Amino acid sequence: MPPSQCFPGFALLALDRAAHHSIASRSLLALPHTPRFSTSAPRYGPPPRKGMVAPPKRGTKTLNVKKGKSSPSRDTTKRPAPGDRKALRKRIVLSNNNALEVPTLQDLHKDTVLSGENEGLVKGLPEDVVDALRAVEAFKPTQGWRLFRRPAILMRKETTLLAALFREVEGTANGQAKMTVRKVLIGERMSGKSTMLLQGLTMAFMRDWVVVNLPDAKDITIAHTEYAPLPGSQPTQYTQDIYTANLLSQIAKANQSILGNLPVTTNHSLPIPLPSKSTLKQLAELAITNPEASWPIFVALWKELTQPGRPPIMLAIDNLSHIMRNSEYLSADVKPIHAHDLALVRHFVDRLAGKTPLPNGGMILAATSGSNAPTSPALDFSIQVAEARQLNPESIPQWNPYKNVDQRVMECLKDVGVLKVAGLTKAEARSIMEYYAASGMLRAQVTEPFVTEKWSLAGMGNIGELERVSVRLRV
Amino acid sequence: MVRGELSQSLRRAIESLGNLPRPQCDRTIRYPRRRCQLSTIRCISTSAPRHAELVNDTPEKFTAAPPINFEQQDAKGGKGGGKQLLRTLRVVPASPSYFSAKPTFTDDFISLQALLRKVATLPVVPPSEAPKVAWKTIDQYRIMTNEPVKTQRFHKMIHILRRLNCIHPSLMPEEVLQAMQRYKKASQPGDIKPKPGIIDELGRAKGVGRRKTSSAVAWLVEGEGEVLINGKSLTQFFGRLHDRESVVWALKATQRLDKYNVWGLTAGGGVTGQAEALTLAVAKALLVHEPALKPALRRAGCITRDPRKVERKKPGHVKARKMPTWVKR
């Protein structure tokens, strides 16, 4: 027997003491309860369960760090309802009652919107155009519309270039084939690419073009909307019915004045009956109630719009790099679906590549994004090539032959043009800062040194940074 | 006191025994000699002299006095014998302050006072216009003399030196310059002059700046306020507005932001360090273009390099200063 086990327990000691009465009265170990003869029962018994510890004495304070329902420090405030936070995040606010009305601000006019005389001026957007732009989700929550009394845009140098393209499209003589302009907007982060797209949409609305805007390519490809294979397509394409239905309703709402006047001219084999003598607006609105038929309706609408004698079309997309890669959708054999296999994206990309021209003329604009852009090496390379083609055609970069290439993207962007949205000039910066000051959002005297300082700090006139430096981060 | 001095004076005393009834110290001879030996080190300590790094001149070699030949002295002196001779012998140290605790310091002080008395009538310039001199600190002086000099006394001496330094530079006697040399530090302010910057044929001026572990080079050309850092625009490279303002602070503080373009290269460290390294680099490049801006830039805080760095971790500490948590047992 090892000596540690031989050691007599306290109970046994107490037993010994009890034998000697003289010591027992003074002993500290004199236990009140009856002495045990064995200690093996508690030793071999199960360990005390966790909750079985004796409760604290009455009146003592104990630390309670429990989580969950019984926690004393639980946050009992009301949580926002599901979807509230997202709604708050995506909310578009287009006016600020605290900003001053700018008396010198004049609205754009249909006749002068394409002329170069507006360059360097801040112009207000007319109400109906604002409604239409809102309908096609051209305003983005990150843009600074909520800072001013009403939406206004700076007609910068690139805007004038874009207006010149509009004039070219509209100016083609009747006999010639109508022109289709295909451009990708590129530039630094916050340099105003999405706003340039919005300016293009504005001009299209004001010149009575039909506008089809895909507000964010990300929504199409990140697999947040349902999809289904398109029957009879080889290779398989995928339609997104809910998204297309929503897009059609946006088109109908934004272009209601034009589409309401255009009658359906050809017979379409639609899965749902179309009332005779209906307009294109009614055709588009059919998709709201029948989303499952939205793709045939979209195709039918497009076919109607490309009939001779119809207005030019403005087709735009923001955040281009999302559709220049594999989408998040999976095919039936669990392979990623390339974004170009989505029917809606394919429709856009064919026009962007120039595969299917617009018979009535028009413009296809795609804006890249600086802040939410997944890597798409083929897109980056194609943009480099397109830039080189414009600036120095003798030295065009070559794709590294040892790297895999997304051939579909290269094919699509083979001969697309780019419009570089660079920094503002100092005159433009001064113009917009005077607008900021007149709105009461910039409390400083707009002088030459002040403008130069902000222009430099904004990275040579990057307009988003300029707004941040002078309006948002005001000390 | 110089080690050789005692032995020399001993020898001299014995030699003079024959000539004089009582040997006396000859002031007229001793004073100039002491003065010319001022630059040599003197030690009264028996321990080995410290060759401190601050003392740049080597102590003279110790030479013991030759033993006194009493027989010869007796023969020369005549009657009396050796005992008689010893009785008349009295060794006198070279310096009258030999028996004070700090003979070298006392001698220095007295000689400086004498020098000041001599040149007191020369015209002076105000102390702010006198040439800048870094005097030896009291510790350096103590090591040099190996004497426990008191702070207050030392300050009195420095006071005299400052007064001597205020003599009009064009009339400064050579003697005073020689005397002050002993009390100056080895390196004086303004000794190291940086090479003047140049503007190259393309109109660029270069400046280098550092902060923490970052370093930066900036090239400044005349322009209209464009900035490129490592080939990117200011906004692309620095997300924080504060950092962007730091980069162009030298130009902004002197109202030159719209007059120059900046090309910057920066590496190492973090974002703020790189921005502040660029501040210094831009300021130095600006000084090449416009040297007269130096006071304005100094007021803006763009001249002085911030010497602060991460403090090293120490053994026994968790971080530089943090101690481990106290644990019972």
- Structural domain spans, chain A: 1-34, 173-420, 426-472
Tell me the CA end-to-end span of chain B in Å, nearest whole number.
Answer: 60
Rounded to whole angstroms, what are the CA distances from B8 to A4, B62, B88, B273?
A: 87, 11, 18, 65
Whether A456 and B241 lie within 8 Å, measured CB to CB: no
Split at pLDDT 50, 70, 90, the class of B65 is confident
Pick the residue from chain B with its C-alpha nearest to A460.
B226
Range of lowest pLDDT (A160-174, B24-38, B283-297): B24-38
Strand partners, A187: A421
DSSP character at residue A354? T
Split at pLDDT 50, 70, 90, the class of A474 is low
| Strands of A106-107's sheet in order across | A106-107, A122-124, A152-154
Whether A188 and B236 lie within 8 Å, measured CB to CB: yes
Tell me the CA end-to-end span of chain A in Å, nearest whole number.
Answer: 83
Query: Residue A216's closest CA among A341, A333, A379, A373?
Result: A373
Residues of chain A with Cβ-Cβ distance to B244 below 8 Å are 457, 459
Pick the residue from chain A with its C-alpha nearest to B259.
A452
Average pLDDT on A358-380 reads 94
Reply yes or no on whether the pLDDT at A154 is more than 80: yes
Query: Quick one: tokens of A113?
Result: 């919107």
Whether A453 and B252 lie within 8 Å, measured CB to CB: yes
The distance of Cα A8 from the centroid of its chain, to the nearest Å, equals: 77
The complex's ipTM works out to 0.77
Contact assessment for residue B92 and residue B23, using Cβ atoms and an 8 Å cutoff: yes
Q: Does A422 touch chain B (CB under 8 A)?
A: no
- Locate tokens 């001969």: which residue? A415
Average pLDDT on B206-232 reads 95
Reply yes or no on whether the pLDDT at B29 is more than 50: no
Separation between Cα atoms, residue A33 and residue A176, nearest integer Å:
115
Separation between Cα atoms, residue A255 and residue A129, nearest integer Å:
10
Separation between Cα atoms, residue B206 and residue B197, nearest integer Å:
7
Q: Which amino acid is at A411?
A: E
Whether A469 and B227 lie within 8 Å, measured CB to CB: no
Query: Quick one: tokens of A219?
Result: 């929504």
List phi, psi (to 5°) of A349: -65, -35
Average pLDDT on B155-160 reads 96
Reply yes or no on whether the pLDDT at A54 is more than 90: no
- Collapse the DSSP code of A386 into the 3-class scheme (helix H, G, I; strand E, B; otherwise coil) and give the result: helix
Split at pLDDT 50, 70, 90, the class of B60 is low
Residues of chain B with Cβ-Cβ distance to A449 below 8 Å are 255, 257-258
Range of lowest pLDDT (A175-184, A251-260, A353-362): A175-184
Split at pLDDT 50, 70, 90, the class of B63 is confident
What is the structure's pLDDT at A412?
93
Average pLDDT on B133-155 reads 94
Residues of chain B with Cβ-Cβ distance to A426 below 8 Å are 224
Instruction: Dump pLDDT digits (tens) for B70-105.
Output: 677 666 655 555 666 677 777 778 888 888 889 999
Show Cβ contacts of residue A311 under 8 Å, excluding neighbours closer than 6 positions. Answer: A208, A209, A210, A258, A360
Range of lowest pLDDT (A29-43, A85-99, A396-410, B189-203): A29-43
Residues of chain B with Cβ-Cβ distance to A456 below 8 Å are 225-227, 234, 248, 257-258
What is the structure's pLDDT at A284?
94
Q: Are strands A238-239 and B214-222 parallel, antiparallel or unpaired?
A: unpaired
Split at pLDDT 50, 70, 90, the class of B39 is very low
What is the structure's pLDDT at A47?
67
Pick the residue from chain A with its C-alpha nearest to B258.
A452
Separation between Cα atoms, residue A353 and residue A345, nearest integer Å:
12
Q: Does A448 touch chain B (CB under 8 A)?
A: yes
List phi, psi (to 5°) of A41: -60, -55
Shortest distance between the Cα of B141 and any Cα of chain A, in A, equals 54
Mutate which: B228, B232, B233, vs A, most A CBs within 10 A: B233
Reply yes or no on whether the pLDDT at A279 is more than 90: yes
Reply yes or no on whether the pLDDT at A350 is more than 70: yes
Average pLDDT on B65-74 reads 71
Q: Are strands B260-267 and B214-222 parallel, antiparallel or unpaired?
A: antiparallel
Q: Which domains does chain B have, with CATH numbers?
A: 3-99 (no CATH), 103-181 (no CATH), 194-329 (3.30.230.10)
Q: Which amino acid is at A366?
A: A
Torsion of CA A216, A221, A226, A232, to 10 degrees: 110
Whether B236 and A189 lie within 8 Å, measured CB to CB: yes
Separation between Cα atoms, residue B300 and residue B250, nearest integer Å:
7
Where helices occur in chain B by DSSP H, the ranges are: 3-15, 27-36, 70-77, 81-88, 103-119, 138-145, 151-165, 174-181, 234-237, 241-247, 249-253, 271-289, 294-299
Separation between Cα atoms, residue A275 and residue A303, nearest integer Å:
18
Whether B244 and A457 lie within 8 Å, measured CB to CB: yes
Output b/e per residue, A345-372; b: 16+ Cβ within 10 A.
Answer: bbbbbebbbeeebbbbbbbbbbbbbeee
**CB-CB: which of A189, A456, A465 is closest to B225?**
A456
Average pLDDT on B295-318 reads 95
Residues of chain A with Cβ-Cβ distance to B248 below 8 Å are 456-457
Helix axes A294-305, A343-353, angle to 10 degrees: 20
What is the structure's pLDDT at A34?
60
Is residue A235 reached through a cis peptide bond, with omega within 30 degrees of 0 on the bond before it?
A: yes
Bigger pLDDT: B212 or A26? B212
Bigger pLDDT: B69 or A187? A187
Mutate which: A189, A456, A468, vs B, most B CBs within 10 A: A456
What is the structure's pLDDT at B189?
87
Range of lowest pLDDT (A6-20, A426-440, B51-65): A6-20
Whether B257 and A453 lie within 8 Å, measured CB to CB: yes
Reply yes or no on whether the pLDDT at A299 is more than 80: yes
Of the CA atoms within 13 Å of residue A100, those in its CB half-sphere come to 14
Pick the residue from chain B with its C-alpha nearest to A472.
B241
Average pLDDT on B279-295 reads 96
Shortest distance between the Cα of A288 and any Cα of chain B, in A, equals 43
Average pLDDT on A246-254 reads 96
Reply yes or no on whether the pLDDT at B6 is more than 80: no
Cβ–Cβ contacts within 10 Å for residue A330, how many?
A: 13
